[in-house]
Structure 1
Amino acid sequence: MIPSILLAAALITGTPYHASHPVPEAAVASDAAKGEEKQPEKDKNAAVPEKPVVTRHKVVVENREIGYMVTTGHLPVMNDAGESEAQIFFIAYTADNPSPGIRRPLLFIFNGGPGAASVWLHLGAVGPRRVQMLPDGRMPPPPYQLVDNEFTWLDQADLVFIDPVGTGYSRAVKPELTKKFATVQGDIDSVGRFIRLYLARYGRWNSPLFLVGESYGAFRAAGLSDYLFEHGAALNGIILISSVMNMQAISFDQGNDLPYELFLPSYTATAWYHKKLSPDLQGDLDKTLATVENWAATGYLTALGKGDTLSPEERRTVVEKLSAFTGLDKSYIDNRNLRIDNRSFVRDLLRDQRQVVGFMDSRFTAANLDPAAPFGFDPTVATIRAPYTATFNDYVRRELGFKSDLEYFTLGGGIGRWDWEAKNGYADSSENLRNAFAKNPYMKLFVASGCFDLATPHFSTEYTINHLGLTPALRGNITTRRYRAGHMMYLDRTSLSQLKKDVAAFIAGALVER
């Protein structure tokens, strides 16, 4: 979610989200034993939330009824002295286990942002209840409905949805501590401490463990993979949805030409969807994308690398190619110096129709009421914000019995400016993922991407994966899948169904005895 969603917001507003070093391994290797098992009688820093609420429910998946327990509440984020510095809100689903001798897998799930709650994956794809959108993912008329999710992952594993500090109902115990958690390392450390404490309090240390992260949640998951291993929790697998791990790959900065190459196939997919391509490219999308990806990584990359030394003939060829692959006017591309950022693309592709297309899902459009003004909002966010916020607030109170007067921050509002902890460079947690693969060769990785995602495009994700520097044996642990939908591919019912099948196969494969 979104960015999940807020990363896209940063793209819209121009908020910087780069300039950091890889997450330092030493910084995440503090003593795992300290503070983990200790549960103070009373938190002296702030009032402790009420005990978690437990309810029981049922859901039918593939004609099989599954009984399950839901635990809704908070766990403290404790420092090494055992003092609570924040309270993290979570919702955990534990299915009835007909075979007690078999340990059920456990998935820790979060969205991204930074600043997005887990509600998007929770009520969009993974949990046993989901928001009913239109079949293609667009918003239905209010009031909105929550329905049983026949595509839930609960039949495969127990589920713990985590809202990092500053999202959902999760808060620092003192306002001055909020900044500590709005950093790359502070975020990874706090979520890692939550996971360790959950494993201890609920007796799950010896369960098969998985992480599920969307967008910036993928960045977090990559950092956590190494953090958790250093604290004695080896992962069976990681599931990344619409991922970003190296911010250089999506940062449209002067002197950084990488994103122009990596976003181009998603521009083509978007132009294909809106029927802006020539007939020879408008037919088979997969074939067209293969052609564009090949040229993006060769001819276009070479042209960008030549900069101002590109000859007039070469420049004309590039202009013609880009126009054919994007549906944009040749003179417009030439005036943009062959470099089209995503903010310009979503505003200009359908300018003649007075429409803008979405960042998160470029199938969606909205009226462009002032074509001369800068782009102001993402049609995708406008589509999902109200249905997910309204249904969650009703669900958590009416069905789960959890009461709170706090605002549930679904997308922003709980954190200020994010600290990327850097001076020169780009935030990059892919190094942590690489280290985790080297230390734990049994760990598997599943990567899901949407073709119509203009926030974390599929070609960018695959570029990062292909540059991890892994051995052939470790590369064999990676599975990638594409879906004909956007950043939240599960908004589309067909993609939601396929994602469930792909994830089920991945989890089963990651649990094969060795």
Structure 2
Amino acid sequence: MRNRFASSALALCLCLSPLPLVAQDGGKAQEKAAPAKVEPMVSITKHSGTFGGQRVAYTATASDTFLKDDKGNPRARIFSVSYVKDAPEANRPVTFLFNGGPGSGSLWLHMGAFGPKRVAIPNDGRDDGAPPYRLIDNPESLLDVTDIVFIDPVGTGFSTALGDTDPKEFWGVTKDAKSVAQFIRQWLSDNGRWNAPKFLGGESYGTTRTAAVANELEGSYNDVSLNGLLLISTILDFGAQAEVPGNEMPYVLMVPSMAVTALYHGKTTPSASGPGPAALAAEAKAFATNEYLPALMKGSALVGEERAAIRAKLARYTGLSEQYLESADLRVTPGRFYKELLRDRGLVVGRLDARYTGKDYDNAGETPDNDPSFYGIDGSYTAALNAYVRQELKFSPERQYVTIGGVRDWDWDLPGNGGESRYYKNVAPYIGRALRENSGLRVLVAQGWYDFATPFFGAEFSLTRTGIPADRIEYTSYDAGHMMYVNETDLTKLSRDIRGFIRRR
């Protein structure tokens, strides 16, 4: 990539209270030790910084919040970091943020985009290398316009199930959303913020979670009404993007992403209407919608001159040869595209950010060995989060922070959809319902041009279906990939866009 990504502290530690073993019947039997009693850990520290050009004094609270059952028994602990402005103005907003996966902690948005500190990584496409990594002040944090709560759902970060509770009780679209909604309600009660303007957002699967949590918060009589949803690198309609035989939509939705990637790497030419990715993306979307999709719908009946015309245009937008496209039956999966686009240079392109390139073990494979846009940054974020939270925020449990991959067997069922979610997974209707029933709710959709994990055309497709009001959805684009904030220029733009969105409440 050429232009790339204290005054007081209170800590309540784990408290063990085992009962002594008591001999009975001449030592023939002994009582078992009572279960260890676990208390939530909390650390409160005072700080100040300059954000959005304003000096802000704030309190950071790194803490466990226990989620309890109807009998008051703790079932899980949610780790969060809250940044709350000291002596705030009336009606100050609060924003709840998380990342995705599912199974990812919130460290990416926390240490990369909106926390008061961030990790400094190269802007020129190089990997993050080895430690030490620099932690720097982050003037792009949103603390000038909103308090922020970073949430790690169960199985991520420091958040775990407790006692005999099976963590799988929290691992699913709806299960996870219910637990995060429970945390938010409890946080609002504990902090006296029920009447504050509220924003909810996430990145990647975090956008799926945003839709599902909004449904849990606003979908009953005991509503928590929201002012805004922040969708960063959006994935809502999993059915449309499912790479399964017979589903033509993934090929259609990927064409614009392939086009701007081919343009970036010099494998195709700009649009006649403009030199940048926006113009070519618009042209590629028109081709994908008006020509490519109808052609694919013809299946094996697509022959002769019509097939040749589609093949030639597809070669122009993807940067791949007509011979290769014919061999692939005009249907190129993203995995094949990453490997084929720069095969002549001995390089593969990234999935999260297609501007990144890497070298595989050999050049003859079908798909890449790994994603060069992920292994180029993962070490720095993990080190930064642990160093910052454990040292500066004084929250240092014996638990290890789970960066990503801590959940298994995710339950994708979506109750209330007539049972049809067994076949088609789509949470966009949750957003449509929330918009229809809350006239004060707005949505911001932030997408990177070079993101194949959550392609920008897929986000637009999912949010332009029937039943989703279009007049309160805003779209912003970035000359970036999945994590647009890894580049300082795009971080500044993202921060400015979200700051403006919150101010327009």
TM range (shorter): 0.7 to 0.9
**In structure 2, how many angstroms separate the alpha carbons of the residues matched to 1:273 and 1:375?**
19
- Correspondence for 2:29: none
Asked if structure 1 preserves the Cα contact closer than 8 Å seen for 2:261 and 2:355, the reply is yes
- Correspondence for 1:405: 398
Asked if structure 1 preserves the Cα contact closer than 8 Å seen for 2:52 and 2:144, the reply is no
Asked if structure 1 preserves the Cα contact closer than 8 Å seen for 2:228 and 2:443, the reply is yes
- Correspondence for 2:372: 379
Asked if structure 1 preserves the Cα contact closer than 8 Å seen for 2:229 and 2:443, the reply is yes
1:259 offset after TM fit, Å? Answer: 1.2
For residues 364-405 of structure 1, what are the alpha-carbon distances to aligned partners after superposition, in whole Å with 9 as ceiling and x for unaligned? 111122233442321121012101001111111110001122
Asked if structure 1 preserves the Cα contact closer than 8 Å seen for 2:75 and 2:165, the reply is no
- Correspondence for 1:477: 472
- Correspondence for 2:385: 392
- Correspondence for 1:416: 408
1:492 to 2:493 alignment: no
Deviates more, 1:440-449 or 1:285-294: 285-294
- CA 1:203–1:176 in structure 2 vs 1: closer, same or farther (change >3 Å)? closer
For residues 71-124 of structure 1, what are the alpha-carbon distances to aligned partners after superposition, in whole Å with 9 as ceiling and x for unaligned? 00111122233322111110000112353xx12100010001001110000111
- CA 1:50–1:184 in structure 2 vs 1: closer, same or farther (change >3 Å)? closer
Ranges in structure 2 where 5+ consecutive residues have no aligned partner: 1-16, 18-33, 415-420
Report the structure number with the largest CA radius of gyration: 2
**Paired residue type of 2:427:** S
- CA 1:136–1:468 in structure 2 vs 1: closer, same or farther (change >3 Å)? farther
Asked if structure 2 preserves the Cα contact closer than 8 Å seen for 1:366 and 1:379, the reply is yes
**Paired residue type of 1:504:** R
* DSSP 3-state at the match of 2:463: helix
1:421 offset after TM fit, Å? Answer: 2.5
* Higher relative contact order structure (alpha carbons within 8 Å, sequence separation ≥ 6): 1
- Correspondence for 1:238: 229
* DSSP 3-state at the match of 1:421: coil
TM-score (normalised: structure 2): 0.88
**Paired residue type of 2:188:** L
**Mapping for residues 460-475 of structure 1, pairs under 5 Å:** 460-470=458-468, 474-475=469-470
**In structure 2, how many angstroms separate the alpha carbons of the residues matched to 1:469 and 1:378?**
36
- CA 1:487–1:96 in structure 2 vs 1: closer, same or farther (change >3 Å)? same
The one of 435, 445, 452 equivalent to 2:450 is: 452
- Correspondence for 1:38: none
- Correspondence for 2:336: 344
Deviates more, 1:138-147 or 1:273-282: 273-282
**In structure 1, how many angstroms separate the alpha carbons of the residues matched to 2:73 and 2:424?**
33
1:184 to 2:173 alignment: yes
**In structure 1, how many angstroms separate the alpha carbons of the residues matched to 2:226 and 2:373?**
33
- Correspondence for 2:295: 303
Ranges in structure 1 where 5+ consecutive residues have no aligned partner: 1-41
* Residues paired across the two proteins, number: 462
The one of 98, 115, 125 equivalent to 1:127 is: 115
The one of 195, 201, 207 equivalent to 2:184 is: 195
* DSSP 3-state at the match of 1:381: coil
Asked if structure 2 preserves the Cα contact closer than 8 Å seen for 1:248 and 1:259, the reply is no
1:360 to 2:365 alignment: no
- CA 1:459–1:280 in structure 2 vs 1: closer, same or farther (change >3 Å)? closer
**Paired residue type of 1:437:** L
Asked if structure 2 preserves the Cα contact closer than 8 Å seen for 1:139 and 1:387, the reply is no
**In structure 2, how many angstroms separate the alpha carbons of the residues matched to 1:241 and 1:235?**
17
- Correspondence for 1:157: 146
1:437 offset after TM fit, Å? Answer: 1.2
* Higher helix residue share: 1
- Correspondence for 1:272: 263
- CA 1:110–1:62 in structure 2 vs 1: closer, same or farther (change >3 Å)? closer
Q: Percent identity?
A: 39
**In structure 1, how many angstroms separate the alpha carbons of the residues matched to 2:343 and 2:71?**
58
The one of 209, 212, 219 equivalent to 2:208 is: 219
For residues 126-148 of structure 1, what are the alpha-carbon distances to aligned partners after superposition, in whole Å with 9 as ceiling and x for unaligned? 11111111235653443211100
- Correspondence for 1:505: 500
- Correspondence for 2:281: 289
